[in-house]
């Protein structure tokens, strides 16, 4: 999900479907395509099993190449012959739903969700799941709905997670007001948002 070139969604959808077929349908298409963006910078695929090497081998055998190894994180970046970036997300079985939640995005949505959980409930939300900040014990049930209920975050459809900072929806504005008040009171150090979100805007 970077700042590189963007392509029309109608060009990327067939490619994403082709990649899914190469992986025998054992993936979810996430990112901008799941959020129904009209333009897409890359293709995000979350693998439903843990055979990362087998999936990469299948993709490389069909013309892709590995551009960035996954290291300790969940994503391996591959490139098509046309230079289109494909992010392959792989995690442990009990991380699948959390991976899906994060891979769908958007980045702004995810940052605000993590900020909300940290400030209001002292919980740390990552693609690993939800952990208490105090003792780092995981407390979610491994489902997306369970995670969002645990942190009291709206159950949004993927396309509802596309947040324009110039037109903040009322549900989010109400939560930003709460966050700002709590942070002012606690003088908390918070995770920076990837874009300015005014506290007093009226959508």
Q: What is the pLDDT of residues 126-135, one digit of tens each?
A: 999 999 999 9
Give me the phi and psi of 131, to 5 degrees please.
-125, 145
In a domain, 79, yes or no: yes
**Tens digits of per-residue pLDDT, 46-56?**
999 989 999 99
Asked if residue 87 and residue 12 are part of one domain, the reply reads yes
Number of domains observed in the structure of the chain: 2
Q: What percent of the chain has pLDDT over 70?
A: 89
Q: Is the pLDDT of residue 199 over 70?
A: no
Asked if residue 38 and residue 65 are part of one domain, the reply reads yes
- Give the per-residue SS3 of the chain: CCCCCCEEHHHHHHHHHHHHHHCCCCEEEEHHHHCCCCEECEEEEEECCCCHHHHHHHHHCCCCEEEECCCCCCEEEEECCCCCEEEEECCCHHHHHHHHHHHHCCHHHHHHHHHHHHHHHCEEEECCEEEECCCCCECCCCCHHHHHHHCCCCCCCHHHHCCCCCCCCHHHHHHHHHHHHHHHHHCCCCCCCCCCCCCCCCC
CA-CA distance, 36 to 162, in Å (whole number)? 9
Asked if residue 81 and residue 16 are part of one domain, the reply reads yes
pLDDT: is 6 or 196 the higher one? 6
In a domain, 35, yes or no: yes
Query: Of 26, 68, 21, 30, whose CA–CA distance to 49 is shortest?
Result: 26
Please, what is the average pLDDT of the chain?
Answer: 90
Asked if residue 85 and residue 43 are part of one domain, the reply reads yes
CATH label of the domain that carries residue 135: 3.30.210.10
Asked if residue 177 and residue 129 are part of one domain, the reply reads yes
In a domain, 85, yes or no: yes
Q: Is 136 left (phi over 0), alpha (psi -120 to 50) or beta?
A: left
**Tens digits of per-residue pLDDT, 75-123?**
999 999 999 999 999 999 999 999 999 999 999 999 999 999 999 999 9
Asked if residue 174 and residue 119 are part of one domain, the reply reads yes
Give the pLDDT of residue 198: 46
Average pLDDT over residues 137-145: 96
In a domain, 2, yes or no: no
pLDDT: is 153 or 201 the higher one? 153
Asked if residue 148 and residue 83 are part of one domain, the reply reads no
In a domain, 122, yes or no: yes
Q: Is the pLDDT of residue 192 over 90?
A: no
Asked if residue 112 and residue 85 are part of one domain, the reply reads no
CATH label of the domain that carries residue 68: 3.30.460.10
Cβ neighbourhood burial of 196 (10 Å; 0-12, 13-18, 19+):
exposed
Average pLDDT over residues 158-166: 94
Give the pLDDT of residue 191: 56
In a domain, 102, yes or no: no
Asked if residue 119 and residue 168 are part of one domain, the reply reads yes
Confidence of residue 188 (pLDDT cuts 50, 70, 90): very low
Q: Mark which of 60, 91, 122 sits at the end of a domain.
A: 91
In a domain, 174, yes or no: yes
Name the residue range of residue 59's domain.
7-91
In a domain, 97, yes or no: no
Asked if residue 116 and residue 58 are part of one domain, the reply reads no
Asked if residue 14 and residue 85 are part of one domain, the reply reads yes
């Amino acid at each position: 999900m970077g700042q590189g070139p963007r392509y029309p969604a109608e060009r990327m959808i067939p490619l994403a479907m082709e990649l899914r077929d190469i992986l025998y349908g054992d993936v979810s298409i996430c990112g901008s395509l799941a959020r129904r963006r009209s333009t897409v910078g890359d293709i995000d695929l979350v693998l439903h099993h843990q055979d990362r090497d087998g999936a990469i081998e299948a993709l490389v055998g069909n013309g892709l190449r590995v551009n960035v190894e996954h290291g300790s994180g969940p994503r391996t970046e591959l490139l098509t012959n046309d230079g289109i970036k494909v992010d392959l997300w792989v995690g442990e079985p009990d991380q699948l739903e959390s991976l899906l939640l994060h891979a769908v995005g958007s980045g702004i949505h995810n940052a605000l969700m993590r900020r909300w959980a940290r400030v209001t409930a002292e919980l740390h939300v990552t693609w690993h799941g939800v952990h208490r900040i105090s003792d780092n014990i995981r407390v979610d049930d491994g489902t997306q709905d369970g995670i969002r209920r645990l942190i009291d975050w709206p159950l949004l459809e993927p396309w509802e997670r596309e947040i324009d900072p110039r037109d903040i929806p009322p549900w989010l504005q109400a939560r930003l007001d709460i966050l700002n008040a709590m942070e002012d009171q606690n003088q908390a150090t918070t995770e920076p948002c990837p874009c300015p979100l005014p506290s007093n805007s009226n959508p």
